[in-house]
Structure 1
Amino acid sequence: MALQLPPETPSSAARRRELYSNWESAASIDERIPELKALARDGRVLMAWVREESEFRCPNFQFDGQSRLIPQMKPLLELLRGPNGLTDEASQSGWLE
């Protein structure tokens, strides 16, 4: 059974914008971490597609103060992709790309 998401409302859209507003674009991170796309393909970094901005953004919590990816990201993303995490049926909003 496919996951059914609730319809978007003005308040849910505003909350989503608030959440990603402080996330850095993948393009700007790529200037400091040229291997960012390879890290994403390897399942070591979380990138979310932001439809309104037509770009990928990266939540800040996965980087340390020196813009290095924290080592906990790979096991966390493995859990999300595993049998008890999100499945192929769930909407992943572009975060696996």
Structure 2
Amino acid sequence: MTINFAFKALSDPTRRIILDLLRERDLTAGEIAEHFQMTKPSISHHLNILKQAELVIDQRNGQHICYSLKTSVFQDITNWIVSFQQIKTERQERHES
């Protein structure tokens, strides 16, 4: 997983809504589709992009596939973003010395 691919996946508002839905609980593709006025193949496309970015995982449960967040990737992204704040803080401390 590259962070760039995760950001590309996060750039779409539909995918961000899907992630918000999955934050509440695991859902099937059909349950996710109920929240949108788009075709199920379109929802599947968004879910595949989220899977490729390793932001969600899927697990077969009988005839259904259940989707859930893969929180470790969000932790990686958060750590990457926080590292920029740390660099800024270190630079400010050097300038104040």
Q: Computing the radius of gyration over CA atoms, which structure comes out larger, 1 or 2?
A: 2
In the superposition, the TM-score normalised over structure 2's length comes to 0.28
Q: Please identify which structure carries the higher helix content.
A: 2
Q: Please identify which structure carries the higher strand content.
A: 2
In the superposition, the TM-score normalised over structure 1's length comes to 0.28
